[in-house]
């Protein structure tokens, strides 16, 4: 629904914005979520710039202490007129003013501000390096705020076992396979929904991740058994849809449908679905592989499809048992 609303605005957005988003999508292969985020960030930025440069009258509540009122005021600004002439007038000071606004008025977190900086860097780089219509990337020197790395939320081993057992007892091969795949393969929600039958190749699965990058996922015994059981049902369904997982209309099962299946599985074993999600199952798979499977960090990076090792390294800080053992093994631990 959000994507549809953004697409309606996209076709009416400034031409230069359409060129950038199209380039990010078709050439850079960025995901739908990423391009949506770029579009949203640039829309907010240029609406602010129009007020900041006094190209439009400052709306009432533009700097309201009420965040929602301030956001609404900015949304009322039309961003028509965003062209190369305006873009060339933007300075580093203008960008810092915008970031200050997002911090003071919109109360954006460091992570949210860092994302906006990343968007502006990409956008101005596109203009300077790809289209070559501005002399330099004015945003490249912006200092990115330090962001805190949060430890991943995950299910403990016994909770994971209960979730799998409960799902199996419900005797729904499709839903059971979904739970087993999440907990054994560490896939993203979008990756699971995007699986086609032709992606299954013996004991491996080709998964398409962020940026349309493909990786091979190796299937263990639990996944292979659940997959074979489900395929015996799936192949009987007459449909032209190549998707592995289908909904009741014999079409590809969407992300919302998968989330509802997972929520129902959580309810069956008393897990708070407000605290956990499909992405938390990905965290669980990664955590259990590292904590109990002895998987090294580089291998885990490949399994999860992380571009940067630093993204995977968060899982090296979760083993409280090891930390406790290390404290006990300190030669000064004995009472003197």
Tell me the CATH number at 204.
1.10.443.10
Query: Which one of the listed residues 122, 188, 234, 252 is annotated catalytic?
Result: 188
* Residue 135, in any domain of the structure: no
- My answer on whether 179 and 314 are in the same domain is yes
Strand partners, 320: none
206 beta partners: 216
Q: Nearest-CA neighbor of 234 among 172, 168, 185? A: 172
As averages over each run of 10 residues, the pLDDT of the chain (336 residues) reads 55 91 88 87 95 92 91 89 93 94 92 92 96 93 74 84 92 95 91 95 90 87 94 94 96 94 93 85 87 82 83 69 58 54
Give the number of other CB atoms < 10 A from CB of residue 237.
Answer: 9
Range of the structural domain that residue 267 is part of: 157-318
- Tokens for 265? 């599985």
Distance CA 69, CA 105 (A): 10
Residues 240 and 125 in one domain: no
Of 56, 51, 20, the closest CA to residue 38 belongs to: 20
172 and 216 in a single domain? The answer is yes
Same domain, 32 and 169: no
Tell me if 144 is assigned to some domain: no
d(CA 279, CA 189): 7
User: For residue 328, is it within any domain?
Assistant: no
Q: Which entry of 71, 210, 215, 264 is annotated as an active-site residue?
A: 210
Indicate which residue of 113, 282, 283, 291 is catalytic.
282
Is 210 known to be catalytic?
yes
Structure tokens that stand for 9 in this block: 């605005």
How many other CB atoms sit within 10 Å of the CB of residue 270? 9
pLDDT at 128: 95
CA distance linking residue 317 with residue 11, whole number of Å:
45
Is 336 a domain residue?
no
Going from the C-alpha of 221 to that of each of 169, 176, 236, 332, the distances in angstroms are 18, 14, 23, 45
Catalytic residue among 52, 106, 264, 279: 279
Distance CA(105)–CA(99), nearest Å, equals 10
pLDDT at 327: 61
Say whether both 105 and 161 belong to one domain: no
161 with 306, same domain: the answer is: yes
Same domain, yes or no, for 119 and 78? yes
**Active-site annotation holds for 215:** no
Structure tokens given for 125: 């780089």
- In this structure, which long-range contacts are made by residues 321-325, counting pairs with CB atoms below 8 Å and at least 24 apart in sequence? none
Alpha helices, H only, 76-220? 84-88, 92-104, 110-125, 157-169, 173-185, 189-193
Structure-block tokens of residue 88: 């060339």
Instruction: Report the pLDDT value the prediction gives residue 28, as an integer from 0 to 100.
Output: 86
- Catalytic (active site) residue 282: yes
228 falls within a domain:
yes
Which residues, other chains included, contact 60 with Cβ-Cβ below 8 Å and sequence gap of 6+?
A: 73
Do the domain assignments include residue 162? yes
Do 118 and 46 belong to one domain? yes
Q: Is 263 exposed, middle or buried (0-12, 13-18, 19+ CB in 10 A)?
A: middle
Tokens representing residue 264 in the block: 């129902």
User: Model-level pTM greater than 0.85?
Assistant: no
Are residues 115 and 175 part of one domain?
A: no
CA separation for the pair 302, 234 (Å, rounded): 29
Residue 290 catalytic? no
Q: How many residues comprise the chain?
A: 336
Q: Is 276 known to be catalytic?
A: no
Catalytic: 141? no
Tokens 């080709």 belong to residue: 206
300 with 207, same domain? yes
* Structural domains of the chain, count: 2
End-to-end CA distance of the chain: 66
In-domain check, residue 152: no
Residue 16 lies in a domain: yes
Same domain, yes or no, for 51 and 124?
yes
Identify which of 173, 191, 171 has the alpha carbon closest to the alpha carbon of residue 182: 191
Q: Are residues 92 and 193 in the same domain?
A: no
């Amino acid at each position: 629904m959000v994507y549809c609303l953004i697409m309606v605005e996209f076709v009416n957005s400034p031409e230069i914005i359409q060129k950038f988003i199209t380039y990010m999508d078709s050439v850079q292969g960025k995901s739908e979520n990423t391009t949506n985020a770029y579009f949203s960030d640039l829309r907010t930025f240029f609406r602010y710039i129009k007020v900041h440069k006094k190209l439009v009258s400052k709306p009432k509540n533009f700097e309201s202490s009420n965040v929602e009122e301030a956001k609404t005021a900015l949304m009322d600004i039309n961003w028509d007129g965003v062209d190369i002439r305006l873009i060339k007038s933007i300075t580093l000071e203008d960008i810092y003013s915008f970031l200050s606004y997002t911090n003071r008025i919109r109360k954006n977190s460091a992570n949210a501000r860092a994302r906006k900086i990343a968007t502006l860097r990409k956008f101005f780089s596109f203009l300077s390096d790809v289209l070559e219509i501005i002399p330099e990337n004015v945003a490249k020197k912006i200092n990115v705020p330090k962001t805190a790395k949060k430890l991943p939320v995950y299910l403990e081993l016994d909770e994971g076992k209960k979730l799998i057992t409960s799902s199996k007892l419900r005797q729904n091969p499709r839903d059971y396979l979904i739970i087993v795949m999440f907990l054994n393969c560490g896939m993203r929600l979008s990756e699971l929904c995007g699986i086609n039958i032709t992606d299954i190749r013996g004991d491996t699965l080709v998964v398409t991740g962020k940026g349309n990058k493909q990786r091979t996922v190796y299937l263990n015994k639990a996944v292979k058994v659940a997959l074979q059981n489900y395929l015996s049902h799936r192949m009987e369904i007459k449909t032209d849809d190549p998707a592995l997982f289908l909904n009741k209309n014999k079409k590809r099962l969407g992300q919302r449908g998968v989330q509802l299946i997972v929520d129902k599985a959580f309810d069956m074993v008393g897990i708070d679905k407000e605290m956990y999600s499909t992405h938390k199952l990905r965290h669980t798979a990664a955590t259990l592989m590292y904590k109990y499977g002895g998987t090294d960090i580089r291998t885990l990076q490949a399994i999860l499809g992380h571009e940067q090792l630093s993204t995977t390294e968060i899982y090296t800080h979760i083993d409280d048992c090891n930390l406790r053992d290390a404290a006990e093994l300190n030669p000064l631990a004995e009472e003197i």
